[in-house]
């Protein structure tokens, strides 16, 4: 090659480079402010089958920015902030009308956990102080009549920072919490049904800062529970109380659980394929102690992915575009994972997060290793400690909360208490895809389906042109979200036959419903039809 040829060759490479960069750093998605003041900071959230989201923070934050209904007050001498409090610490957000109404929670819900039961009732457990043994129920309603009901000593142990999961038998399991190296069930089956030891929580308890709170728990298709705490995991048979499998430590050995808060999801479940777990972000060992001395260590920038059914499972590590602690992971209707909120340094805990990460990232599990992450458009609102995220039926992602302070502090602090609700709309909601977006015709929303059945799903496509091989039917269990973890979150990709034309722009695909309650515990799910990665608005279905 002559020097000129070499030069033009190099130039052409240089010219190609920026294009590649544009591809890998493509900004996408859209942010909308929904409400500027819901009165409380969204520390815990759960979407119910009424398309309402129950939101609550803690009773001892002091006076919130929303009053209890009709002159009600809560008189609680044990409240650590305000013994007579006429403000609400829980609200119900109605997606359709984009409005909130106050709810009445009496005992302290701080750092608690929850599960939606098979009948659609939210059962929320534990908290702090006078609420640490409480069980609170919330039945969805579509008028404004529903409110919390509380059972003050519904739990055997105090549960503060515990994780819940719904079980195939319709009960909830409640695992761990501060200084609780055990688990229990709700409801109890007998008076002898109390709590059961879980030595794994002793083994993963770091001396100075537990690093194993809010463990990441997933129900595996074999009926066992995958439990990740600190830097490792077990497969646990909760019926026999035995460890079925011990997974290797996550490479690097840094903790991923509270307060080194990373996040985790069970990747989309497909028929006859082993389940995979993805754990992302967190903070290095020592980060909490360092943060308490004003030294905010960089968050972890790695994810570990593991096939939990493999005979000798190994973690495969991947690097995120940005380091993140206190990020949330949300399964999107098309099977991609949204990683959103959180900080670039510090840890969970009062005042311990720094460098908010404003750009979400989408992770595409089926892309080849090395090309799975895509950075999204950024928000302008830091979402630090005590922020939450849930997927809505229309495909938007509801984002709220952030309060790293022991009170509501709106001024004079680094990250003011946030009372807003925002929506992040992934690019699949862009108007340019409207013509590809399926619309479900049948089944009707709120239909009941059984296990192991073939059901027809009918939908229309506006253009009247369907790419049959890109059609996917998915089912998402709406999770209980707090402290960067979404309990009970799971997405199933239903196996389907060919897409047939049944009318003008109307198509049908027959899909198999899940084959067992291990794969999909009975209860309410949102069913989506996905066409070329673009999801329909979902419908509620109840599997029994
Ligand atoms: C998102 O990012 C794209 C590409 O950078 C940009 O064109 C678009 O305006 C952004 N949208 C919003 C709502 O910020
Ligand atoms: C709290 O409510 C008052 C009015 O009721 C409003 O002026 C103020 O902006 C609210 N605070 C926040 C942080 O939204
Ligand atoms: C519990 O152990 C018994 C006997 O070892 C076994 O037959 C049974 O399958 C186990 N239960 C579960 C849920 O694995
Ligand atoms: C604090 O961070 C430094 C490095 O930044 C590290 O050497 C030290 O061990 C950390 N402290 C603790 C208590 O882990
Ligand atoms: C936060 O709010 C509490 C209660 O209103 C107040 O006592 C405290 O001084 C505030 N902290 C800061 C840093 O403003
Ligand atoms: C149809 O969808 C399949 C699967 O996503 C894809 O491989 C194929 O390229 C698509 N065909 C067209 C014409 O877009
Ligand atoms: C689906 O279509 C393919 C190609 O037309 C055909 O080979 C296959 O048998 C069909 N499957 C079913 C279940 O009808
Ligand atoms: C088919 O449906 C489209 C849109 O719904 C409509 O515009 C068109 O007239 C219909 N064609 C027939 C033949 O019914």
**Strand 447-449 versus strand 539-543 pairing type:** parallel
Within 8 A by CB and 6+ apart from 203, the residues are none
pLDDT in tens, 17-29: 333 333 334 569 9
CA-to-CA separations, 399 to 32, 195, 333, in angstroms, rounded: 10, 35, 17
Find the 377 Cα to ligand 1 centroid distance in Å.
6
Q: Are residues 329 and 230 in the same domain?
A: yes
Could you tell me the sign of the dihedral formed by the alpha carbons of 42, 67, 121, 61, in that order?
Answer: positive
Nearest-CA residue for atom 2 of ligand 3: 240
pLDDT in tens, 296-310: 999 999 999 999 999
Mutate which of 254, 255, 290 to test ligand 4's pocket (most atoms within 8 Å of Cβ)?
Answer: 290
Quote the number of domains for the chain.
2
pLDDT value for 71: 83
Q: Are residues 234 and 272 in the same domain?
A: yes
Radius of gyration of the chain (CA): 23
Within 8 A by CB and 6+ apart from 389, the residues are 45, 328, 330, 338, 340, 341, 397, 398, 399, 400, 481, 486
Boundary (domain end) residue, out of 411, 429, 447 = 429
Nearest-CA residue for atom 12 of ligand 4: 286
Domain span at residue 484 reads 434-543
Boundary (domain end) residue, out of 429, 446, 464 = 429
Closest ligand 2 atom to residue 416 Cα is 13
Residue 1 DSSP one-character state: -
Could you tell me the sign of the dihedral formed by the alpha carbons of 203, 208, 211, 215, in that order?
Answer: positive
Q: Are residues 484 and 376 in the same domain?
A: no
Mean pLDDT of the chain: 94
Distance between CA 154 and CA 144 in Å, rounded? Answer: 26
- HSE-up of 392 (CA within 13 Å, CB side)? 22
CA-to-CA separations, 500 to 442, 505, 508, in angstroms, rounded: 14, 11, 5
Instruction: List the chain residues with pLDDT less than 50.
Output: 1-25
Within 8 A by CB and 6+ apart from 160, the residues are 110, 111, 112, 126, 127, 128, 132, 177, 178
Check which CATH number belongs to the domain holding 509 and give it.
2.60.40.10
Nearest-CA residue for atom 7 of ligand 3: 240
Q: Are residues 285 and 334 in the same domain?
A: yes
Find the 498 Cα to ligand 7 centroid distance in Å.
6
Specify if 393 maps to a domain: yes
- E strand residue ranges, 205-251: 216-219, 225-229, 232-237, 242-246
Find the 531 Cα to ligand 6 centroid distance in Å.
10
Pocket of ligand 5 (CB under 6 A): 62, 405, 407, 409, 412-413
Distance between CA 116 and CA 523 in Å, rounded? Answer: 8
Q: Give yes or no for residue 237 CB within 6 A of ligand 3.
A: yes
Find the 505 Cα to ligand 8 centroid distance in Å.
8
pLDDT value for 273: 84
Specify if 1 maps to a domain: no
pLDDT value for 207: 83
Nearest-CA residue for atom 1 of ligand 4: 290
Specify if 17 maps to a domain: no
Report the run of H or E that residue 7 belongs to, with start and end.
helix 3-24
Closest ligand 7 atom to residue 497 Cα is 13
pLDDT value for 153: 94
Q: Are residues 424 and 521 in the same domain?
A: no
pLDDT value for 70: 83
Find the 410 Cα to ligand 2 centroid distance in Å.
9
Q: Are residues 57 and 148 in the same domain?
A: yes
Asked whether the beta carbons of 325 and 285 are under 8 A apart, the reply is no
Check which CATH number belongs to the domain holding 421 and give it.
2.130.10.80
- This prediction has a pTM of 0.93
Specify if 248 maps to a domain: yes
Pocket of ligand 8 (CB under 6 A): 504-505
Distance between CA 395 and CA 392 in Å, rounded? Answer: 5
Distance between CA 497 and CA 510 in Å, rounded? Answer: 6
Boundary (domain end) residue, out of 375, 398, 429 = 429
Nearest-CA residue for atom 14 of ligand 8: 504
Find the 347 Cα to ligand 4 centroid distance in Å.
13
Mutate which of 221, 222, 237 to test ligand 3's pocket (most atoms within 8 Å of Cβ)?
Answer: 237
Nearest-CA residue for atom 7 of ligand 5: 407
pLDDT value for 27: 64
Specify if 97 maps to a domain: yes
Find the 452 Cα to ligand 7 centroid distance in Å.
21
Nearest-CA residue for atom 3 of ligand 5: 407
Specify if 13 maps to a domain: no
Q: Are residues 390 and 513 in the same domain?
A: no
pLDDT in tens, 502-529: 999 999 999 999 999 999 999 999 999 9
């Amino acid at each position: 090659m002559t020097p000129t040829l070499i030069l033009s060759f190099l130039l052409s490479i240089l010219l190609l480079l920026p294009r590649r960069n544009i591809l890998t750093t493509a900004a996408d998605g859209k942010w909308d402010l929904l409400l500027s003041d819901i009165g409380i900071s969204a520390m815990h959230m759960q979407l119910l089958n009424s398309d309402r989201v129950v939101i609550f923070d803690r009773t001892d934050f002091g006076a919130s920015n929303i009053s209890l209904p009709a002159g009600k007050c809560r008189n609680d001498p044990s409240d650590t902030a305000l013994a007579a409090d006429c403000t609400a610490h829980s609200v119900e957000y109605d997606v359709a009308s984009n409005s909130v109404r106050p709810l009445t929670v009496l005992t302290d819900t701080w750092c608690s956990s929850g599960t939606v039961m098979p009948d659609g009732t939210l059962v929320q457990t534990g908290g702090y102080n006078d609420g640490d043994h409480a069980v609170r129920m919330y039945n969805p309603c579509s008028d404004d009549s529903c409110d919390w009901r509380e059972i003050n000593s519904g739990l055997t142990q105090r549960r503060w920072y515990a994780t819940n999961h719904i079980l195939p038998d319709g009960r909830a399991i409640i695992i761990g919490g501060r200084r609780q190296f055990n688990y229990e069930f709700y409801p109890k089956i007998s008076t002898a049904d109390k709590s059961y030891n879980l030595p794994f929580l002793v083994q993963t308890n770091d001396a100075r800062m537990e690093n194993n709170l809010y463990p990441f728990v997933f129900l595996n298709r074999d009926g066992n529970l995958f439990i990740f705490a600190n830097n490792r995991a077990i497969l646990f048979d909760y019926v026999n109380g035995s460890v079925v499998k011990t997974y290797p430590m996550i490479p690097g050995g840094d903790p991923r659980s509270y307060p080194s808060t990373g996040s985790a999801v069970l990747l989309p479940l497909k028929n006859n394929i082993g389940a995979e777990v993805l754990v992302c972000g967190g903070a290095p060992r020592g980060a909490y102690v360092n943060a308490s001395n004003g030294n905010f260590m960089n968050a972890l920038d790695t994810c570990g992915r593991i096939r939990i059914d493999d005979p000798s499972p190994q973690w495969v590590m991947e690097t995120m575009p940005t380091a993140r602690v206190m990020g949330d992971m949300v399964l999107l209707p098309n099977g991609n994972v949204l990683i959103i909120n959180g900080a670039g340094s510090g840890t969970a805990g009062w005042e311990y997060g720094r460098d908010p990460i404003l750009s979400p990232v989408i992770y595409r599990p089926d892309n080849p290793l090395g090309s799975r992450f895509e950075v999204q458009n950024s928000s302008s609102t830091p979402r630090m400690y005590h922020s939450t995220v849930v997927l809505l039926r229309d495909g938007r992602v509801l984002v709220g909360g952030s309060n790293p302070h022991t009170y509501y502090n709106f001024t004079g602090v680094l990250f003011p208490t946030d009372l807003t609700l925002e929506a992040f709309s992934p690019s699949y909601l862009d108007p340019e895809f409207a013509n590809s977006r399926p619309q479900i015709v049948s089944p009707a929303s709120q239909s009941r389906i059984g296990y192991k059945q073939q059901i027809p799903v009918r939908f229309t496509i506006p253009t009247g042109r369907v790419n049959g091989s890109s059609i996917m039917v998915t089912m998402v269990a709406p999770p209980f979200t707090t402290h960067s973890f979404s309990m009970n979150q799971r997405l199933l990709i239903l196996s389907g036959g060919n897409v047939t034309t049944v009318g003008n722009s109307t198509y049908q695909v027959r899909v198999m419903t899940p084959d067992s309650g291990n794969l999909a515990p009975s209860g309410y799910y949102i069913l989506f039809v996905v066409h070329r990665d673009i999801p329909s608005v979902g419908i509620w279905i109840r599997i029994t």
